[in-house]
Structure 1
Amino acid sequence: MPVKKRKLPEAENHETKCKITRPQIRGVKPISEVKQFSSKKCLAWFHKYADPDKVVGPEAMEKFCKDLGVEPENIIMLVLAWHLNAATMGYFTKEEWLRGMTGLQCDCTEGLQSKLDYLHSELSDSTIFKNIYRYAFDFTRDKNQRGLDMDTAKSMLALLLGKRWPLFPVFHQFLEQSKYKGMNKDQWYNVLEFSRTINTDLSNYDEDGAWPVLLDEFVEWQKARPASLRHHNSKKENEGEKQKPET
């Protein structure tokens, strides 16, 4: 999860607009086999990283990730932020921390480390992944902007779809040369739907469908490319997908 060092809004409402239902934690051991969750211990764990404003900011987040043994850019950090329902990338408030860690029943670094495999497994659930994908839009955008700037959009799409959508490298090329400077919420949501429903050769794309213009233009751009280049890229992408492990 790329960390942006920007000022946390003083009067920001930390509840995101994306309403999501989180599943119950699976694979939990019987109470007799695990230590009881401690809110007091969880709060002390938060204060280990929090600044005087009771917020875990970008620099402390780096230390938190290091202690956890996870790179800040790892998609697991986005999944964790989703569980905390964090409002702003690079920041965890006390309320977000306590709410999310209580749900995960984690009150220390070791406890959260034991849940990393579980957090990763959630990405394989199509419904949960969709919720995380949608959550990422509001989580990563600048709060004074309605959409994502294109650099942020490309980075987050690479994190979320780079190893799940064979056409992503081509779509990334399209965004690189396009006139678009950003991506709005409708475009963001539809990119995921497009990646899930449209064939790699675009054979089932309906030009009269209710897709955003951005995706219409992507299809036109891809079809206008030399056939040899399209087929070469498609073959390369499919081979890459077989070789790449899930992140």
Structure 2
Amino acid sequence: MAPRSASVRKFLEVTGIESEDIASFFLKRNNGRITESINDYFSNPRIVKEIERRAKQENQRALVNVSTELRELFNKYKEEQPDPTGKPFIGIDGTLRYLSDLGYEPEDEVVLCLAELLDSQSVGQFKEDPFLKNWTKVGCNSINEMRDFIEESLKARMVNDPEYFLKIYQYTYRFILEKNEKNLPLDMAEDYWHLLIPKQYSKELDIFLKFMHENSKNKVTRDQWNMLLPFLEDFHEDSSLQKYDENKSWPLLMDEFYEYINGDRA
């Protein structure tokens, strides 16, 4: 994992924003120093507004080149009424029809890739601007072109590009988290872990979930979600966790699991 990518993820997590452009700007401005970058961000709202203004202008320019075919495709699935901000969007029913036309089920792993590509902020919703802009960006205007892109690019990257897989894995937490909730219910996290975690870690995941249920761990934090994948990789290589370093920046949950594995269930 590239250090800069890790820094961007940390910046977004602490500030609560979603713009990687803003994160990258402040990290570059502060030579990658996380604390200084975050302080700089909160101290300079005018700079943030200027970056957002430019991004909006770029988005508007991108929408100029959208084909009539793509606009008509979006309109086929959109809700009759706009969202509370007055923007057109595809809702649950339209999303189900859209996925069906693409040939996918809602629970297919690649649907998460599609949601990330189209900047979906919640399950079953696609906003007009990112839908049009991002499909135009990759040159897709029809269902067939979209399906080909998903199969040949997104699906392939999930297998062959570890950085992209990690991006989708971490995006998923925010995507499935209910509005106004800070933590994910364990049963929902469990469903998506079974969907996303590579099969070679199935044994380790089952042991971890057994620990979670036995100890009534009913919620999963963002940090726990993000760190589970590297933790399972280590656990896979070292089944007794003899090399586990409690001084590393693991969530407390992993320390508790380490004690559980080594017989200390007090």
Q: How does the TM-score come out when normalised to structure 1?
A: 0.71
Is residue 66–residue 132 contact of structure 2 (8 Å, CA) maintained in 1? Answer: no
Instruction: Answer 1 or 2: higher relative contact order, Cα 8 Å, separation at least 6.
Output: 1
Residue 78 of structure 2, aligned match among 44, 47, 50: 50
CA distance in 1 between counterparts of 2:187 and 2:212 reads 10
Match of 1:174 in 2: 211
Q: After TM superposition, what 4+ stretches of structure 1 lie above 3 angstroms from structure 2?
A: none
Deviations 1:17-71 (A, max 9, x none): 26389xxxxxxxxxxxxxxx95221111111111122221112211111111111
Match of 1:17 in 2: 18
Match of 1:95 in 2: 129
CA distance in 1 between counterparts of 2:17 and 2:72 reads 26
Letter in 1 for 2:252: V
Is residue 16–residue 138 contact of structure 1 (8 Å, CA) maintained in 2? Answer: no
Letter in 1 for 2:114: L
Is residue 66–residue 133 contact of structure 2 (8 Å, CA) maintained in 1? Answer: no
Specify whether residues 190 and 132 from structure 1 end up closer, same or farther in structure 2 by C-alpha distance, changes over 3 A only: same
Deviations 1:118-164 (A, max 9, x none): 21111131111111111111111012012212222112212111525
Segments of structure 2 that go 5 or more residues without pairing to the other structure are: 1-15, 24-64, 83-87
More helix by share: 2
CA distance in 2 between counterparts of 1:18 and 1:96 reads 13
Letter in 1 for 2:179: K
Segments of structure 1 that go 5 or more residues without pairing to the other structure are: 1-14, 22-36, 226-247
Match of 1:165 in 2: 201
What fraction of aligned residue pairs are identical, expressed as a percent? 27
Q: Which deviates the most, 175-184 or 58-67?
A: 175-184
- 1:114 is paired with a residue whose SS is helix
- 1:224 is paired with a residue whose SS is coil
1:187 aligns with 2:217: no
CA RMSD after TM alignment: 2.4
Specify whether residues 222 and 162 from structure 1 end up closer, same or farther in structure 2 by C-alpha distance, changes over 3 A only: farther
CA distance in 2 between counterparts of 1:192 and 1:103 reads 31
Q: How does the TM-score come out when normalised to structure 2?
A: 0.67
Aligned length: 196
